[in-house]
Amino acid sequence: MTPECTNRQLLIYSISRLLAGVRHVAVGMSSPMPAAGAMLLRALNKKQGLADVQVSILGSVKHNSFTGGSEELFDCAAQGRIDAFFLGGGQIDGKANVNLVGAGDYPSSEVRWPGSYGSAYLYFLVPRVILFREEHSRRVLVDQVDFISAPGVIEEGVHRRVGPHAMLTNAALFAFQRDVGRFRLESVHPGRSAREIREMTGFSFDNDRCKVETPGPDAETLALMRGQIRTELAETYPQFAASLLEAA
């Protein structure tokens, strides 16, 4: 990673790498980093003469081909016309289950979150779902979620178009092994260690002695993020876009 790269810039670059090969990325309304990663992939593909990437950001005017909002997003997903989507949650467990409802025994949850909305629907229909949660802690990454808004592992015989692909946090990158229903630690971010990741995570995972460091962007890609990508993001996320100028 270049010395000037911030952790958020590293996450944006990591997202662009996780999206490699997709043609259409859909991003939720409050997801500036996934949006930036998708835009970065689109810009890098264009520079390299690769396939164009369609980026659909709910809530955006310029970067959104949908005219019917989330209804059209769901319709596109059902038709197989969305290749990648991002899910987060108040809790995520070791089986890639996501909880967007609340913490505590449902329905008497002590803490309530926005709700599941279309998370389970998209989790089943979008081929490459990336779990993204900037906070990496035992409060978020739990052994078992209190409520399953969207299941990571399903029963045999239930149709699904692939499902969870990876999970990215502010400390590490995990791949999801669908054959065994567990996460595998792929890399730790600069300044972190596998031991720290074990201590910060509420569930067990494979390759827990990983020594691979998450790669960062080169100077040219970093400049692209701070220039073109920042400008494109400003239409939807002006405050977040301004933060991309930070060098430390």
Q: For position 145, what pLDDT does the model report?
A: 96
Evaluate if residue 50 carries a pLDDT over 80: yes
pLDDT in tens, 104-114: 888 878 888 88
Q: State what percent of residues in the chain have pLDDT above 90.
A: 75
For residue 167, name the pLDDT band (cuts at 50, 70, 90).
very high
SS3 content of the chain, % helix, strand, coil (to 5): 30, 20, 50
Hey, what amino acid is at 77? A
CA distance 243 to 114: 26
Instruction: Round to whole Å and give the CA distance between 43 and 34.
Output: 14
For residues 208-228, average pLDDT: 96
pTM for the model:
0.93
pLDDT of residue 196: 98
Query: What residue spans define the domains of the chain?
Result: 7-240
pLDDT band at 1 (very low <50, low <70, confident <90, very high): very low
In the chain the beta strands, taken as DSSP E runs, fall at 24-27, 54-57, 84-87, 91-93, 98-99, 102-103, 111-112, 128-132, 141-142, 164-168, 172-177, 182-188
Helix (H, G, I), strand (E, B) or coil at 237: coil
Per-residue pLDDT of 6-34, as tens digits, reads: 999 999 999 999 999 999 999 988 899 99
How does pLDDT run across 117-150, given as a tens digit for each residue? 889 999 999 999 999 999 999 999 999 999 999 9
| 7-240 classified as CATH 3.40.1130.10 | no
